[in-house]
Every structure is written in structure tokens, then in C-alpha cells.
Amino acid sequence: MDTISITHPAPPPTRELRGLKLHRERGHEIESIGKGRYEVPGCSGGSYRVDLAPFGGTESCNCPDFRRHHDTCKHLVAATVARAKARTRARTVQAERTAARASRGNVASLTSLS
Ligand SMILES: [Zn+2]
């Protein structure tokens, strides 16, 4: 009786995974150029322009992969991750500022009592 092999060739990484990898490795190079547009570094030098269409419409990227498939490419995924992280960071900064203001206020009211 044959034994069933459990060694399958690795599936090709999906665009989502490649996008996450791109963000992990080069996320610091992703640049917001305003209104949901991002410059995302390409693998072979240069960068691609991603439009996340924040006001509706279709998300797009000017890389060959996107042009060919008219589908999500890794740059789009990486830019989406970058945007989500930037939002989280903005919220955190806001929360820290509010907390700092509140504690300063407390200190002020304490010192005014003395
Ligand atoms: Zn792309």
C-alpha cells in the first residue's frame, strides 16, 4: 500500500500576503501623498502610485500587475495596511494628548489650592 505524501509544494503566496510582507519590510518607505494616495516602493526600484479611493470609486495602482489583472496588487494591500496603521497611530497620539492635558489640569488645580 502506498503511503500518502504529506509534502505538498508550497502554495504561491497570495497578493495579500505579499502586500503584508512588503509593508513589513518597506512600510517605512510608503509615503502618503494626500487624499488617499500613496507612493509605495516597488520590488525592482522606483515606486508605484496607489490610490485608495477614500471618497468612493475604484482603488488603483499604476504597477504592471494591477494593469494586467485589474485586481488588488501587493502595493494596494501594503498601502491599505499603512493607512490603517497611520489611523491607529493618530488615535493613540490623540488619546495621549488628552491624557497629558487632563493630568496637567490636575496638577494646575492642585497647585492653585496651595
Ligand atoms: Zn501595484
- 34-51: pLDDT as tens digits: 989 999 999 778 999 999
Q: Is residue 30 part of a domain?
A: yes
How many domains does the chain contain in total? 1
Of the segments 3-17, 28-42, 64-78, which one has the largest average pLDDT value? 28-42
Protein residues with C-beta less than 5 angstroms from the ion ligand 1: 48, 61, 63, 66, 73, 75
- Separation of CA 6 and ligand 1 centre (Å): 34
Order of all β-strands in the sheet with 47-51? 31-34, 37-41, 47-51, 60-61
Report which of residues 44 and 66 the model is more confident about. Answer: 66
| pTM confidence score | 0.72
- Separation of CA 87 and ligand 1 centre (Å): 22
* DSSP assignment letter at 35: T
Quick: pLDDT tens for 68-83: 887 889 999 999 999 9
- Separation of CA 66 and ligand 1 centre (Å): 5
Q: Is residue 10 part of a domain?
A: no
Consecutive H or E run containing 76: helix 74-113
Residue 73, domain extent: 15-81
Q: Mean pLDDT across the stretch 93-105?
A: 87
* DSSP assignment letter at 27: G
